[in-house]
């Protein structure tokens, strides 16, 4: 059996599809192909359960002629938008599509009424392939680091040689991120080695945080590839993170996580996902705000102007959630 999975973005969403890839390959012996955007292909390329990763820069038409020649038995659409519909129309193969529950998410954002199932999105992804006779194996998420991307923390900074906390300070949208002064407060309060992780967008913030927090805080934002950042997450004692891709990578490594939630909520079903019988995550959020969630994704600034969903979260709460005896 030859199966094409569609999920075009982004890092966290793609990592959350990894149990689907694994069970299809292990339980069916299927040849699994995956179509995504070129920017996210490296997330998938090291996965040993995948036969081939297809990618496109701007439009799916870049690869449709080649995909038609593959004659897939099934197309599993885990993105479910107009672009993925175009792929399915072009390939004319049997398909199943993930239910994104957009109305239920809209209802929660607009009215505060929660009609979402109390179910992680991973299980809903797996429901999309249940007709093929596969079942969840209880093994959590997968993330694979190429050997040449593994990092020795002590070679990056001597402060990290004896162990450290990883603080993922980035997130695509500002309303998912702690205010910079609060990140500094957390780093200063911990009095433990901390590595700051993020991309180019967080480089200046990371530099300011490290400068204000003292020599125990090492800023590696923008200095590492995604796989190298994942390697540092893997070797960290604990991980503090916003609702972002490295949060899901940390869960794939079974790390203890303190996840900080701003405008989004765990009720959307995308909190850290561990193997059956394991939960090493502490979710921190300001409950009782009638303006939260204000979006299923995020905003550049707080729509209300007060940003209470993260301003009201106390530094002491974050630090108390960590095991500082490690």
- Provide the CATH number for the domain around residue 63: 3.40.50.2000
Retrieve residue 310's tokens.
């993260």
Q: Judge whether 277 lies within some domain.
A: yes
Same domain, 56 and 169: no
Distance separating alpha carbons of residues 84 and 75, to the nearest angstrom:
10
Q: Judge whether 137 lies within some domain.
A: no
CB 168 within 8 A of CB 241: yes
116 CB contacts (<8 Å, ≥6 apart)? 101, 104, 105, 108, 267, 268, 269
pLDDT of residue 187: 96
- pLDDT tens digit string along 35-55? 999 999 999 999 999 999 999
Same domain, 165 and 84: no
Same domain, 88 and 111: yes
Residue at which a domain ends, from 132, 161, 178: 132
Residue at which a domain ends, from 132, 159, 179: 132
Q: Judge whether 262 lies within some domain.
A: yes
Q: Judge whether 27 lies within some domain.
A: yes
Q: Is the pLDDT of residue 325 over 60?
A: no
Residue at which a domain ends, from 103, 132, 161: 132
- pLDDT tens digit string along 191-217? 899 999 999 999 999 999 999 999 999
Same domain, 171 and 308: yes
pLDDT of residue 323: 78
Same domain, 105 and 183: no
Q: Judge whether 139 lies within some domain.
A: no
What mean pLDDT is predicted for residues 10-16?
Answer: 97
Same domain, 70 and 215: no
Pair type for strands 74-77 and 194-197: unpaired
- pLDDT tens digit string along 237-276? 999 999 999 999 999 999 999 999 999 999 999 999 999 9
- pLDDT tens digit string along 292-321? 999 999 999 999 999 999 999 999 999 999
Which helix (H) or strand (E) segment holds residue 153: the answer is helix 153-156
Torsion of the alpha carbons at 244, 247, 251 and 257, rounded to the nearest 10: -140
Same domain, 174 and 259: yes
Same domain, 177 and 124: no
Distance separating alpha carbons of residues 220 and 154, to the nearest angstrom:
13
Domain count for the chain = 2
Same domain, 88 and 198: no
What mean pLDDT is predicted for residues 86-110?
Answer: 97
Q: Judge whether 270 lies within some domain.
A: yes
Q: Judge whether 62 lies within some domain.
A: yes
Which helix (H) or strand (E) segment holds residue 27: the answer is helix 18-28
What mean pLDDT is predicted for residues 1-17?
Answer: 97
Same domain, 61 and 169: no
Q: Judge whether 138 lies within some domain.
A: no
Mean per-residue pLDDT over the chain, rounded = 96
Domain that residue 267 falls in: 147-321
- For the chain, percent of residues with pLDDT exceeding 90: 98
Same domain, 166 and 289: yes
Same domain, 211 and 262: yes
């Amino acid at each position: 059996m030859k199966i094409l999975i569609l999920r075009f973005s982004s890092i966290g969403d793609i990592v959350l599809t990894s149990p689907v890839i694994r069970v299809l390959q292990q339980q069916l012996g299927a040849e699994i192909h995956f179509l995504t955007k070129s920017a996210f292909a490296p997330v998938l390329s090291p996965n040993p359960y995948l036969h081939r990763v297809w990618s496109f820069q701007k439009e799916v038409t870049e690869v449709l002629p080649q995909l038609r020649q593959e004659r897939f038995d099934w197309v599993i659409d885990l993105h479910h938008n107009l672009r993925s519909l175009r792929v399915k129309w072009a390939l004319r193969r049997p398909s199943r599509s993930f239910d994104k529950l957009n109305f239920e998410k809209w209802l929660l954002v607009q009215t505060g009424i929660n009609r979402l199932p109390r179910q992680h999105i991973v299980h809903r992804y797996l429901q999309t392939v249940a007709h093929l006779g596969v079942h969840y194996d209880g093994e959590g998420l997968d993330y694979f680091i190429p050997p040449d991307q593994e990092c020795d923390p002590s070679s990056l900074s001597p402060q990290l040689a004896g162990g450290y906390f990883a603080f993922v300070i980035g997130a695509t949208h500002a309303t998912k991120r702690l205010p910079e002064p609060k990140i500094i407060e957390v780093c200063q309060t911990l009095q433990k080695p901390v590595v700051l992780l993020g991309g180019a967008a967080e480089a200046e913030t990371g530099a300011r945080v490290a400068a204000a927090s003292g020599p125990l805080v090492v800023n590696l934002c923008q200095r590492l590839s995604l796989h190298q950042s994942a390697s540092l997450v893997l070797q960290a004692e604990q991980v503090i993170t916003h609702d972002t891709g490295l949060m899901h990578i940390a869960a794939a490594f079974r790390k203890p996580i303190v996840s900080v939630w701003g405008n989004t909520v765990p009720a959307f079903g995308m909190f850290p996902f561990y193997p059956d019988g394991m939960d090493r995550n502490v979710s921190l959020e300001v409950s009782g705000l009638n303006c939260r969630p204000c979006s299923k994704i995020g905003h550049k600034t707080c729509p209300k102007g007060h940003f209470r969903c993260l301003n009201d979260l106390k530094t002491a709460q974050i630090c108390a959630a960590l095991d500082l005896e490690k």
